Amino acid sequence: MSDETLHQLIVGTGAAARPIAVRVRPGAAPGLLWLGGFKSDMRGTKAEALAAHAQKTGRANVRFDYSGHGESGGRFEDGTISRWLEEAIAVFEAFAEAGEIVIGSSMGAWIALLLARELARRPMARGRIKGLLLIAPAPDFTEALMWPALIPAARREIEEHGVWMRPSAYGDGPYPITRALIEDGRRHLLLGKPIEIGCPVRILQGALDPDVPWQHAMKLVACLPQDEVTFTLVKDGDHRLSRPEDIERLLRGVDELATP
């Protein structure tokens, strides 16, 4: 977007310091904050559509790449849920305004839930998130979806050597799955107990999603008893939900959350 400004935010200290690329568009509240998925970046179809919609409606918009992704520094194999959550919190605190709508896709939905829970625990930060819009939400995916699906040889590689190169179904080459990612993910498990985030939640889920089954998303619904939750099952939808009709649903959900 022509009116976006590219910022570089340093997150972490010492050897853990890494530059995070953040694109910011000023505008009215509630603004939009995009949290991408595992191995995705902020120039994808959904992120671009949200940025264009923010420009059209005059809303603020923030999007960024996790370390090891896209325009940000760092190595992908160093990434963990803790590390990427730290970056999301830092970006939120540096660039987000009050009353943000946070949109999270796949792993980004897990990060969004963790971010909202963290802010809900801070008395001075409550209410800063106006709503969550979660696309194919994958909370706990390292433990509930990824680890059980690995063949025994892959598990041994991870346990004994610390990394296994996983073939990609999206044509971008194999990528590392590390022991650190799996073990750290266990520190942030959300499913199976109530999650208190204190804002409305909209969920978009494809029934034909091969990566995040719709039943997994329904487990999340059961963990949000205190919040308003709307669940939309797209019968012919896949994991990415990036078709024109899917983008329309996404933008409609954003507008619903933005309406007082």
Query: Do residues 103 and 50 lie in contact, with contact meaning Cβ atoms separated by under 8 Å?
Result: yes
Cα 131 from Cα 28, distance rounded (Å): 16
Q: Give the start-to-end residue ranges of the domains of the chain.
A: 5-140+191-258
The per-residue pLDDT for range 194-238, each reduced to its tens digit, is: 998 989 999 999 999 999 999 999 999 999 999 999 999 999 999
Q: Which of 116-130, 172-186, 244-258 has the highest mean pLDDT?
A: 244-258
Of 89, 23, 8, 87, nearest in space to 60 by CA: 23
Segment 17-27, tens digit of pLDDT = 999 999 999 99
> What stretches of 26-106 show up as alpha helix (H) in DSSP?
45-57, 81-95
Q: So what's the pLDDT on residue 33? A: 98
CB atoms within 10 A of CB 73: 15
String of b and e for 37-67 (b: at least 16 CB within 10 Å)? bbbbbbebebbbbbbebbbeeebbbbbbbbb
* Percentage of the chain modeled with pLDDT above 70: 97
Asked if residue 1 has pLDDT above 70, the reply is: no
pLDDT in tens, 88-103: 999 999 999 778 999 9
Q: What is the pLDDT of residue 2?
A: 63
Q: Which pLDDT belongs to residue 126?
A: 73
Give per-residue pLDDT as tens, 38-63.
999 999 999 999 999 999 999 999 99
Does residue 125 have a pLDDT over 80?
Answer: no
The domain 5-140+191-258 is placed in CATH, from the list 3.40.1350.10, 3.40.50.720, 1.20.1260.10, 3.40.50.1820, at 3.40.50.1820
The lowest-confidence range among 1-5, 110-114, 159-163 is: 1-5
Strand-pairing partners, residue 23, are: 6, 63
> 12-16, 46-50, 170-174, 234-238: which range is least confident on average?
170-174
As a whole number, the mean pLDDT across the chain is 95
Calculated CA dihedral for residues 222, 88, 131, 118, nearest 10 degrees? 60
pLDDT in the model for residue 42 = 97
- Write down the pLDDT at residue 242: 97
End-to-end CA distance of the chain: 27
Mean pLDDT of 180-207: 96
What's the rounded mean pLDDT across residues 75-91? 97
The type of residue at 246 is D
pLDDT of residue 122: 81
Count the alpha carbons within 13 Å of 260 in the hemisphere toward its beta carbon: 1
Q: Which of 115-124, 164-173, 211-220 shows the lowest per-residue confidence on average (mean pLDDT)?
A: 164-173
Beta-carbon contacts of 35 under 8 Å, excluding residues fewer than 6 positions away, are 88, 102, 103, 104, 105, 108, 109, 111, 112, 115
